[in-house]
Every structure is written in C-alpha cells, then in structure tokens.
Amino acid sequence: MWAQLSAVLALLCLLQVQAELPVQADFQQEQFTGSWYSIGLASNSRWFKEKRQVIKMCTTVVSPTEDGNLDIASTYPKLDQCETKRTLFLRTEEPGRFTYTSPWSGSAHNIRVLETNYDEYALLGDTITKGADTFTMVTLYGRQKQLRPELLAKFTQTALNQGLAQEDILVLPRTDLCMGESV
C-alpha cells in the first residue's frame, strides 16, 4: 500500500511541476516575431511517434495580427515538395501564453514560450488535449539552422523535466529543401 501511495504522490508532484512551468518573464511579442528554424521537437503524442522517422527541419514565420494574435506559417518538406500550414495562436491574458485549436485534428493546444533570447533561440511548451488524452510537446526554434550545444542540451533537459522520455526527443535532421520558402 505504501508503494502505491508513494507512486501516486510522485505522479502528483510531477504533474504539479509540469503545470507550474513558467512563461518567459517579461515576454516581448514584437521581438518574438520573424523567421525561425525548427531545431528540435519532443513529444509523447501519437502523431509524433508515427511521423518521427520522416520529420525534418522546417521554417516558421511568426507574424503579428492586427488584434494581437500571432499568425504562424510553417513550411516543411513533405514527399520532396514544400507544404505550408498556417495556424493562429490566440493570445491570452498572460504574455507569452497562447491557445489554438487544430483545424486538422481538433486538438486543443495551450502553448507557452518557456524561454527565449529573441535573437538566437526559443523554447516552447505545448500541452495538447484531444478528447480524454493529454500530450506534451516541447519545441526548440533557432534563428539559424544550427544552435550551440548548450542550447540543444537545454532543450533536452526541458523535455525530460516535462516528463518526456529520451526516445520522445528528436533533434530534427537538417535539410536544404524548403529552407528558402519562408525564412
């Protein structure tokens, strides 16, 4: 019985830590806009597990909308062609936290800019809810295709701290395909 109680308490502590993950202090949305490369992706979602072997680096352009939201245009290679998907991150009362509902899957996303220095890298956390299932995603973006090893290590540690396993973490393979499409 003590073992079961300990396991439940450990799980509650883990969930508490995940829920309290802070958003970037003094988030400056205008500095966050512009062109980014996806460098790393970590997730325990079924989509990620199914697509992991084919996902490659993509480009993302973040643009402000008139009403203060963020238009996200991601261009990525798919079957040797370039495909662009757009999403609209809806701002919340907390700067650096956004929501959106995927038009493709219907999943609800709670996105947080965990950390950024605006001119080099950004770490984003995403809690994804679809039906009764909840998944976690951590994304590392860079203004350049390659980042310092310390930032890759920070990405990995952030994903692990969010309860993701090592096999859920992927540094995306670099490609030249679609890299000039939006950056």
Q: Among all residues, which ones are annotated catalytic? A: 58
Residue 14: pLDDT band with limits 50, 70, 90: very low
- Give start and end residues of each alpha helix (H) in the chain: 2-19, 29-32, 46-51, 149-161
> Could you read off the pLDDT of 76-100 as tens digits, one per residue?
888 878 899 999 999 999 999 999 9
Does domain 29-171 match CATH 3.30.420.40?
Answer: no
| Contact assessment for residue 33 and residue 64, using Cβ atoms and an 8 Å cutoff | yes
Rounded to whole angstroms, how far apart are CA atoms 163 and 170?
A: 15
Q: Where are the domains of the chain?
A: 29-171
For residues 92-116, give the mean pLDDT.
95
> For all residues of the chain together, what is the average pLDDT?
87
Contacts of 35 (CB under 8 A, 6+ apart): 59, 60, 61, 62, 143, 182, 183
pTM of the prediction?
A: 0.85
Residue 9's beta-bridge partner residues? none
